[in-house]
Chains A and B, each alone.
Chain A
Amino acid sequence: MKRKLITIIIITVCFLLECTVFHRLSFASVKPNLLIIITSSFGFMRGKKEGMAVGVCSGLLIDIFWGNLLGFHTLLFAVIGYINGSFRRLFFDDDIKLPIALIAASEMIYGLVCYFCMQMLQGDFAFGIYLIQIILPELVYTLLVTLILYQIILQINKKLEAEEQRSASRFV
């Protein structure tokens, strides 16, 4: 219960930060994608199911407030959370390389799918311009933010896990 509440709070806070504060902090009119960091990191820290649930929540928020089609981002984020969840066995707390690589890959997939579904299907084939002006800058900025945000999520997760273990051992 406590874990669910904290997860929802993290998602909401990141969503609110992204649409208010980070608009002011945008470089070259590009904002980082905080929700993909959360979806991806909950995926590889907690497994497929939780990654998927976090993905659905953040995708739904995006669809309602930023997008124009209900379901598109929900689907995309759920699948990203699920794929990240299958890397749980390779994940160790002290290793930062795998999380960075996974988040970068997720962000790249997100950018490519967005280009494919929203621009290319409308007949806009200037892929190079989108890659250089939006997808890659967003990727770099997201990775910079990851270095800070990931540590916070990791610490929260560690605390929660320790607490859960304590209460579990009390029952045994």
Chain B
Amino acid sequence: MKMKNQSSLPSKYWLMIIIVCCIILLGIERFTDGGGPLRFVANYTVIPMQKGISYVGRFMSDLSDNFKTLEEMKKENDELQTKVDELTIDNTRLRQEQYELERLRELYKLDENYSDYTKIGAHVIANNGSNWFNDFTIDKGSNDGIKKDCNVLAGSGLVGIVTEVGPNYARVRSIIDDSSSISGMILSTSDTCIVRGDLKQMSDGRIRFEKLANNDNEIEVGEQVVTSHVSSRFLQGLFIGYISEVEVDSNNLTRSGYITPAVDFTKLQEVLVITTTKQELIDSSDSDENSKGD
């Protein structure tokens, strides 16, 4: 009997109802922020399943790693050993400079605002299944201190920014996503530029930079790009990548080109999330200044 009642309404009208609902939803989304209750439900239904699958996946890839031959291991070991040597030399040199820097900073009475952010590690549990976006989900959320606009790193480079937080998950938009744009800075010359993700470049794994002033500073291929001090959401000095191509725009005022990111976005497994956001840093330094002013 119940089935008959359901099927009495022709499918045409069902389609109309769904279309109207969706359009209302789209309209509401314009004024409010996010899916609200639906996302809350999702946190306790789909996210645990994604965690399970990615756990199995990690287990399997660990298992296949066990079958590497001894020769490969030895080769890798040699490579790592040389890298350790290099890094030790680098490290001693940098530490000396660090001491010097601290001493000079004390002389100048500068606060050490950056370089020592607290980070927490997280696993990537799901990627975006559609080819039009490039973001992923991690297995830590607001329960672990992650907030919206937290910066996310992997290895040495910047990966993206948290756009949405649930109790046990967070969505991260990567810097190669089409809608991402970051204020960057060339490390050697301190010129700022805009680093913009581009869907068309995604398969090459490159990102575009533009609006770099066409001044006397020579920019060469291979120079490092970091996040700049003027960005409102990205902390200063996070490594983005190396310049792979640069050319002067037709207006002769700016330069643009491509950056090879420091992170391989196809093989992301573990990421580090910086739990302080830029806004908090700005607020805390503001309040410091105010208290000093009083």
Binding site for B on A (CB under 8 A): 12, 15-16, 18-24, 26, 28-31, 33-35, 47-49, 52, 56, 60-72, 74-75, 78-79, 82, 85, 114, 118-119, 126, 129-130, 133-134, 138
* Inter-chain contact A82/B11, CB cutoff 8 Å: yes
Q: Which single residue of chain B is at the shortest CB-CB distance from A61?
A: B46
Please name the residue on chain A nearest to B49 by beta carbon: A16
* B127 CB contacts on chain A under 8 angstroms: 19-20, 23
Determine how close the nearest CB of chain A comes to the CB of B126; give it in whole angstroms.
4
How many whole Å from A67's CB to the nearest CB in chain B? 7
What is the interface size of chain B, counting residues whose CB is below 8 A from a CB of the partner? 44
Q: Of all chain A residues, which has the CB nearest B11?
A: A48
Contact A82 B15 (CB under 8 A): yes
Contact assessment for B130 and A62 in the assembled complex, using a CB-CB cutoff below 8 Å: yes
Q: Is the interface of B mostly helix, strand, loop or mixed?
A: helix
Residues 17-70 of B at the A interface (beta carbon under 8 Å): 18-19, 21-26, 28-29, 35, 38-39, 42, 46, 49-50, 53-54, 57
> Is there an interface contact between A72 and B26, defined as CB atoms closer than 8 Å?
yes
Q: How far is the CB of A63 from chain B (nearest CB, A)?
A: 8
When distances are taken between beta carbons in the complex, the residues of chain A under 8 Å from B29 are 69-71
Instruction: State the main secondary structure of chain A at its contact with B.
Output: helix
Q: Would A65 and B42 be within 8 Å (CB), given that A20-B50, A75-B18, A138-B131 are in contact?
A: yes
In whole Å, how far is A158's beta carbon from the nearest beta carbon of chain B? Answer: 21
Give complex CA distance A8, B38 in Å: 17
A119 to B202, CA, bound (A): 15
CB distance from A41 to the nearest CB of B (A): 17
B113 within 8 A of A: no
A64 contacts B26, C-beta separation under 8 Å: no
In the complex, whether B200 has a CB less than 8 A from a CB of chain A is: yes
CB atoms of A118 and B132 under 8 A apart: yes
